[in-house]
Amino acid sequence: MRFDRILTSCICTTLCCFSFSALADEGKESGLQLLQVDWFSSGAAIQDLRDRSTKTFDLLDQNNSSSITFDEIDLSEMESEVPEMNNEELREYSRRVQAIQSKFMNWTTEFDEFEVVDTNGDGVWNRDEYELRRQNLQSHRLQLGLEEWDTDENGAVELHEFNSHLDELELLDEDADGIVSHKEAFKSENDRVISDVLMNRLVADEMVWTSYSTAAPGASTTQTFEVNVMRAVEVEKKSKE
């Protein structure tokens, strides 16, 4: 089944992203929990999905302008502030990184990575460009992601754009019980809908542990899991084209 293939792929990829030397005891127990996928079967309440999406929007709208701009999701700029953060600020930072990575990081659009890193356009990478290659590629993927959401092309993402992928939820809810099951969700052509249904239950049950991964400073298991859910869904969709 499509669901089984995607779920197996994203779980395996997620578990491989972590340093088990640092999380051996806790990781072993939590990893087993992640493999128990019964908690996916009941799906997600439509109102919960809408509420969670709106809360994520509010988290990223740092200046309360009712829109999200690139400056508010630029992880490169945010990382430079980490050394000065206290514990509460680090927790907030981790939540923001999780949301930015899962909602805005574009892994599907193809582009010339060499040209993105070659910021001065001279055809070669100098030392500064080489050292900043990860940040520049990351920022470029985030810019592409923001442009995907920004349907009116005004350079910012408003709430109605951020929540627009949820407009079809009632149509997916075939039994009209107010809940979109994983079976109903996978009938959607929108990858974000599928990811939101899966992640809503994952977060609600708190069946993850927080740690630092290679994805980004302060990233949690939830963030890495959700990114890999999106990647797995994208691969599955491409295989059908």
pLDDT number for residue 63: 93
Find all residues with CB under 8 Å of 193, minimum gap 6, and list them: 165, 166, 168, 169, 172, 180, 185
Find all residues with CB under 8 Å of 184, minimum gap 6, and list them: 43, 172, 173, 174
Mean pLDDT of the chain: 75
pLDDT number for residue 186: 87
Backbone angles phi, psi at 207, to 5 degrees: -90, 40
pLDDT, one tens digit per residue, over 135-178 is: 999 999 999 999 999 999 999 999 999 999 999 999 999 989 99
pLDDT number for residue 24: 34
Instruction: Please tell me whether residue 68 adopts helix, strand or coil conformation.
Output: strand
Q: Quickly state the pLDDT bin for 29 (edges 50, 70, 90).
A: very low
C-alpha to C-alpha distance for 225 and 31, rounded to whole angstroms: 12
pTM value is 0.68
DSSP 146-162: HHHH-TT-SSSEEHHHH
Which of 32-41, 108-117, 185-194, 222-231 has the least mean pLDDT?
A: 32-41
Find all residues with CB under 8 Å of 170, minimum gap 6, and list them: 46
C-alpha triplet 220, 57, 163: angle, nearest 5°? 110
C-alpha to C-alpha distance for 34 and 27, rounded to whole angstroms: 10
C-alpha to C-alpha distance for 233 and 10, rounded to whole angstroms: 9
- Structure token pair of residue 20: 């088990």
Backbone angles phi, psi at 177, to 5 degrees: -100, 5
| Greatest mean pLDDT range, 42-46, 91-95, 120-124 | 120-124
Q: Quickly state the pLDDT bin for 77 (edges 50, 70, 90).
A: confident
First to last CA, the chain: 17
Asked if residue 219 lies in contact with residue 98, where contact means CB atoms within 8 angstroms, the answer is yes
Count Cβ neighbours within 10 Å for each residue of 175-203 and write b for 16 or more, e otherwise.
eeeebbbbebbbebebbbbbbbbbbbbbb
Segment 20-26 mean pLDDT: 36
pLDDT number for residue 134: 93
